[in-house]
Chains A and B, each alone.
Chain A
Amino acid sequence: NAGVTQTPKFQVLKTGQSMTLQCAQDMNHEYMSWYRQDPGMGLRLIHYSVGAGITDQGEVPNGYNVSRSTTEDFPLRLLSAAPSQTSVYFCASRMWTESSYEQYFGPGTRLTVT
């Protein structure tokens, strides 16, 4: 299993540009999520999904869109990038059962918005 994969690893955007961060998992996990990590702030939840066609907002959703058309993929879209979105973005997945909470993270995408 490749686990959770993310592309690209690095990205530089200009203010106002749009882009999509890709995330895929091959573990057949129902739950997928996006976090951003900023220095001294820990990881903060942006959006999550508990299955195809189902998404919901996390703690810091403004400026980001998501969709979940398949179990495997959960892309994160920045519609109009702002310098405040400079961060490291992590995708994570887990089974969606009461007995299994183990969450697996991808390697991250480092985004810089100038």
Chain B
Amino acid sequence: GENVEQHPSTLSVQEGDSAVIKCTYSDSASNYFPWYKQELGKGPQLIIDIRSNVGEKKDQRIAVTLNKTAKHFSLHITETQPEDSAVYFCAASTKAGTALIFGKGTTLSVSS
């Protein structure tokens, strides 16, 4: 079945460093790739997304890149801050668009 692999499962960085989280997906028909941030005790919140007809998208300190050929997409956070500490999930849409398949999450810790 459809699958999304996410790495690493935990990531610790110093404030100001960059953080990169990588995902691979199995369904070549996937065309939408969102990234969610989940803070403790809260629901996931969409932070950035990318469609399959775009290779890169930026929003201030965060960016997402997509390599459709390799079925890889990545989240890049620059100049990390302690408030970036959270669990991050990647996801890929199913062929019919009826669901998102999620990765298992990355716990990012930013120390000051």
Contacts and interface: CB of A to CB of B under 8 A. Distances in A.
Interface of A: 4, 31, 33, 35, 40-45, 48, 50, 56, 58-59, 90, 98, 101-108
Nearest to A104: B46
The 5 closest A-B pairs by CB, nearest first: A105-B43, A42-B102, A42-B104, A101-B32, A43-B102
Given A40-B9, A45-B99, 14 more contacts: A4-B43, A33-B99, A42-B104, A43-B44, A44-B102, A45-B100, A50-B98, A90-B43, A102-B34, A103-B46, A103-B100, A105-B36, A106-B43, A107-B43
B103 A42 contact: yes
B44 A101 contact: no
* Size category of the binding interface on chain B: 20 to 34
B44 A105 contact: yes
Contacts of B46: 102-104
Majority secondary structure, A binding face: strand
A108 B41 CA distance: 8
B42 A43 contact: no
Interface string B1-34: 1001010010000000000000000000000101
A14 B34 CA distance: 37
Nearest to B31: A101
Contacts, number: 54
B44 A90 contact: yes
B23 to A, nearest CB: 11
Interface in B86-108: 89, 93, 97-100, 102-105
Residue among B6, B42, B43, B102 with max Cβ neighbours from chain A (10 Å): B43
Nearest to A44: B102
Scoring A33, A40, A45, A98 by chain B CB atoms within 10 A of each residue's CB, the highest score goes to A45
Contacts of B41: 108
B98 A48 contact: yes
Contacts of B97: 98, 101
